[in-house]
Amino acid sequence: MEFGSSFGTCFKAATRSKHQRFSFRVSAVSYKEFAESALQETRKRVVLEPSPLQERYSSMTGLDGKTQLQMLAFKSPKIRLLRSMAIENETIQVFDFAGFMKPEYDTPIFCANVFTSANMNIVVLDLNPLHQLTDQTDYQDKYYKNIMSIYHKYDEIFPWGGKLTGESIKFFSPLVMWTRFSSSQEKHQALFSAFLEYYQAWLEMTIQVKEEMEPSQVRANLEAQHKYLTWRAQKDPGHGLLRKLLGEAKAKALLRDFLFNGVDELDTKTFIDYFPEYETEGGTVSDKRSIIGKSFETRPWDSNGRFIGYESELEEVRIRKSSIKSLRTLC
The residues near 174 (Cβ < 8 Å, ≥ 6 apart) are 133, 140, 144, 148, 151, 301, 305, 306, 307
* pLDDT(1) > 60: no
Within 34-133, strands assigned E span 49-50, 59-61, 68-75, 79-88, 93-101, 109-116, 121-128
CA separation for the pair 263, 151 (Å, rounded): 30
pLDDT in tens, 117-130: 988 999 999 999 99
pLDDT in tens, 196-235: 999 999 999 999 999 999 999 999 999 999 999 999 999 9
Instruction: Average the pLDDT over each of 12-16, 22-26, 51-55, 152-156 and give the range with the smallest value.
Output: 12-16
pLDDT in tens, 276-299: 999 999 999 998 877 777 889 999
CA separation for the pair 156, 151 (Å, rounded): 10
Catalogue the long-range contacts made by 191-194 (C-beta closer than 8 Å, 24 or more residues apart). Answer: 191/114, 191/121, 191/123, 191/158, 192/33, 192/34, 192/37, 194/125, 194/150, 194/153, 194/154, 194/158
Mean pLDDT within 38-58: 96
101-138 burial code (b ≥16 CB/10 A, e <16) = bbbbbbbbbbbbbbbbbbbbbbbbbbbbbbbebeeeee
Mean pLDDT within 20-41: 76
Burial (Cβ within 10 Å: 0-12, 13-18, ≥19) of residue 321: exposed
